[in-house]
Amino acid sequence: MNDSPSLARTPLYDEHLRLGARMVPFSGWEMPVHYSSIVEEHRAVRQAAGLFDVSHMGEFMVTGPGALDYLEGLVPNAVGRLEPGQALYSQICLPDGGTLDDLLIYRRSASDADPSYMVVVNAGTRPKDWAWFEDHLPTDGSVTLRDLSAATALIAIQGPQALAILATLTTAPLMDITYYHAVEGSVANIPCLISRTGYTGEDGFELYHAAEAAPQLWRAFLAAGAPAGLLPAGLGARDTLRLEAGYCLYDHELTEAISPLEADLGWSVRLKKGHDFIGRAALWQQKDAGIARRRIGLVLRQRAVPRAGMAILAPDAGEAQATDTIIGTLTSGTLSITLNQPIAMGYVPPQFAVPGTMLAVDVRGRSVPAEVVTLPFYKRPATNA
């Protein structure tokens, strides 16, 4: 099962095998789904810390005097507002407003004359993203695009102990790195871009570094973090953690048929940013006319395990379940490990998207009552940090 030659491997592949990981195909990559168990790894991230290999993500460098103008034309968020070292979340939209991918953009250079940006994209979408970025390059040569994905590894450390563990491996001023900011620094003697970002709902960091140094950095983290309860964590826990945190996963909550406005990501869409971008007219129209459906969170009120693809039902005025009408579809679902209740995300027409609305989910022919709730399902306890 583990010898499909067509799947790509990260620089940490051998480390995963050594740790006894269960490897699975994911977006063309052979990735660890879990090492011990998803439940154990999920709890480690919520209570202590987890270490993730996310080197399958893609990194594009965008440089040259036209870089800012080019990026502003490709994404709905306001790239021009970034300070050096700051990151933002955005999408790439199609002309009709659908989502080609969602991504992070880091401003790397402090110089306005010689700007450079790093764009971080999803693994499965990297080929089509790259083609899109190339196709939209200005013809005047003012922008240079480089794909650094193969040369770049990415390790994430997430959880309430993440900062303390990372602090044992670096002299970088971690307390000064605020959320969605990054600094260059040496971690375990390896040059890294240390970014206070993540996909788990916990505090944590993501470290971009040279691919060949990844095994050394990985081992340094496991050794430094073991006393604090750090566990290596796979894609299984990554998915259950991000779902509790209400984050979109591309190909589930976001697709080429779903706009960021429908996905309730309007906070990241800057229609008035003063620069046209692909999809802007369509998104304006959606905003003016009203969207046809909206992403919601659901908590099921009976024990069941919701899954992507299950139908969302609106109970009709009467109580007869046989007349329930299908109003939408789940895009993700699980039994929340932290909350011990079934949670799901999906899309419904806006009139059903109001928190408190009682809907139902069709779980293999059984209509299970489900309440629309405000996202996220899980919010970490406030700290003084």
Pick the closest to residue 60 from 109, 7, 10, 122 (CA basis): 122
45 belongs to the binding site for another protein (CB under 8 A): no
**Contact between residue 187 and residue 170 where contact means Cβ atoms under 8 Å apart:** yes
Among 276, 303, 316, 339, binds another protein (CB under 8 A): 303
46 belongs to the binding site for another protein (CB under 8 A): no
18 belongs to the binding site for another protein (CB under 8 A): no
1 belongs to the binding site for another protein (CB under 8 A): yes
338 belongs to the binding site for another protein (CB under 8 A): no
Binding segment toward another protein, per CB under 8 A, in 31-39, 61-69, 104-112, 146-154: 31-39
Please state the closest distance from residue 39 (CB atom) to another protein, in A. Answer: 4
Tokens encoding 30: 């052979």
Please state the closest distance from residue 101 (CB atom) to another protein, in A. Answer: 24
Binding segment toward another protein, per CB under 8 A, in 90-98, 174-182, 300-308, 324-332: 300-308
What pairs with residue 10 in β-bridges?
none
Q: Which of residues 68-107 bind another protein (CB under 8 A)?
A: none
The alpha-helical segments, DSSP class H, found in the chain are: 13-18, 38-47, 67-74, 126-135, 162-167, 214-225, 235-244, 280-289
The pair phi, psi for residue 105, each rounded to 5°, is -125, 125
Give the C-alpha distances (Å, rounded to integers) separating 199 from 157, 181, 306, 321: 10, 15, 21, 37
38 belongs to the binding site for another protein (CB under 8 A): yes
281 belongs to the binding site for another protein (CB under 8 A): no
Burial class of residue 177 (count of CB atoms within 10 Å of its CB; 0-12, 13-18, 19+): buried
Cα–Cα distance for residue pair 274/272, rounded to 1 Å: 5
364 belongs to the binding site for another protein (CB under 8 A): yes
Please state the closest distance from residue 377 (CB atom) to another protein, in A. Answer: 15
Please state the closest distance from residue 310 (CB atom) to another protein, in A. Answer: 10
Q: How many CB atoms lie within 10 A of CB 328?
A: 23
Among 7, 8, 19, 39, binds another protein (CB under 8 A): 39
Binding site for another protein (CB under 8 A): 1, 22, 33-34, 37-39, 236, 240, 303-305, 307, 334-335, 337, 364
